[in-house]
């Protein structure tokens, strides 16, 4: 399992980004909560259609679970179609990853 957490910046103590498909970046973790890296969102500034592009981008990186402050009505089905589960979370990325792996 690979976990992505939408974040406002690339630090582990960043806030979870409220914008799922429009997050600044995604912090990646393995199922034990070990950091795997940071993915800058290449579709952050796209005018329209970010949801399917980001869902495909995360799927291509083998993400199976996404945590974000909000997963909108366009993003949720795109994630589901690609087999990515999602949860809505808020707070610090470091706290959220601990919660997700317990």
Element (H, E) at 95: helix 93-101
pLDDT tens digits, residue range 62-97? 999 999 999 999 999 999 999 999 999 999 999 999
**For residues 43, 44, 48 and 53, what is the CA-based torsion angle, rounded to 10 degrees?**
30
Q: What is the pLDDT of residue 23?
A: 96
Residue 5 Cα to chain centre, angstroms: 4
pLDDT score of 13 more than 90: yes
pLDDT score of 102 more than 90: no
pLDDT tens digits, residue range 36-70? 999 999 998 888 889 999 999 999 999 999 999 99
What range does the domain containing 75 cover? 2-101
Please report, for the domain that includes residue 52, its CATH number. Answer: 3.30.420.130
pTM of the model: 0.95
Looking at the structure of the chain, the number of domains it has is 1
Q: What is the pLDDT of residue 87?
A: 97
Q: What is the pLDDT of residue 46?
A: 85
Q: Do 25 and 38 touch, CB atoms closer than 8 A? A: yes
Q: What is the pLDDT of residue 47?
A: 80
Phi, psi of 75 (to 5 degrees): -75, -40
Q: What is the pLDDT of residue 68?
A: 98
Long-range contacts of 34-38 (CB under 8 A, 24+ apart): 36/2, 38/10
């Amino acid at each position: 399992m690979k976990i992505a957490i939408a974040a406002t910046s690339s630090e582990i103590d960043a806030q979870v980004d409220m914008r799922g498909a429009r997050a600044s970046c995604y912090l990646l973790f393995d199922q034990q909560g070990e950091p795997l890296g940071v993915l800058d969102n290449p579709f952050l500034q796209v005018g329209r259609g970010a949801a399917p592009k980001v869902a495909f981008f995360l799927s291509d990186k083998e993400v199976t679970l996404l945590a974000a402050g909000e997963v909108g009505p366009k993003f949720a089905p795109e994630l589901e179609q690609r087999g990515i589960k999602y949860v809505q979370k808020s707070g610090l990325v470091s706290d959220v990853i601990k919660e997700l792996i317990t």
